[in-house]
Amino acid sequence: MSRPAPSALLPWLESLRCPHCAEPVELAERTLRCSRHHSFDLARAGYAPLLAGASPTSGDDDDMARARDSFLATGAYAPLREAIAQIAPPHIRRILDIGCGTGYYLAGLLEQRPDAHGLGVDTSVRALRFAARAHERAAAASWDVFTRFPLADGSTDLVLDVFAPRHPEEFARVLAPGGHLLVVRPAPDHLEQLRTAVPGMVGVDPRKEERLHEVLDPLFTTVRTVPVSFALALDAPTARDLVAMTPSARHVGEQELRALLTGTSEVTVSVVASLHRRR
Ligand X SMILES: C[S@@+](CC[C@H](N)C(=O)[O-])C[C@H]1O[C@@H](n2cnc3c(N)ncnc32)[C@H](O)[C@@H]1O
With CB under 5 to 8 Å by kind, the binding choice for 47 among ligand X, Zn ion, none is none
Give whichever of 144 and 157 is closer to ligand X, judged by the CB atom.
Answer: 144
- DSSP 8-state secondary structure symbol assigned to residue 158: E
φ, ψ for residue 84, nearest 5 deg: -60, -45
Point out the residue whose Cβ comes nearest to Zn ion. 18
* CB burial readout 248-259, b (16+ within 10 A) else e: bbeebeeebbee
CA distance 147 to 168: 11
The torsion angles phi and psi of 114, rounded to 5 degrees, stand at: -65, -20
140 vs 175, beta carbon nearer ligand X:
140
Binding partner selected for residue 38 from ligand X, Zn ion, none, CB under the kind-specific 5 to 8 Å limit: Zn ion
Q: How far is the CB of 134 from ligand X (least distance, A)?
A: 10
Residues 22-81 touching Zn ion, rule: CB under 5 A, are: 23, 34, 36, 38
Is 100 or 175 the residue whose CB approaches ligand X more closely?
100
d(CA 279, CA 231) in angstroms, rounded, equals: 36
CB of 262 to ligand X, least distance (A): 26
Residue 21 interacting with Zn ion (CB under 5 A) = yes
* Least distance to ligand X, CB of residue 248, Å: 11
Chain residues in the site for ligand X (CB under 6 A): 56-60, 68, 99-101, 104-105, 122-124, 127, 144-146, 162-165
Q: How far is CA 43 from the centre of its chain?
A: 19
Q: Select the binding partner of residue 57 from Zn ion, ligand X, none (C-beta < 5 to 8 A, by kind).
A: ligand X
Helices (H), the chain: 62-73, 78-87, 104-112, 125-131, 168-174, 192-197, 208-216, 236-244, 254-260
User: Least separation, in Å, of the C-beta of 170 and Zn ion?
Assistant: 18
Give the Cα separation of 165 and 167 in Å (integer): 7
Which residues form the interface with Zn ion (CB under 5 A)? 18, 20-21, 23, 34, 36, 38
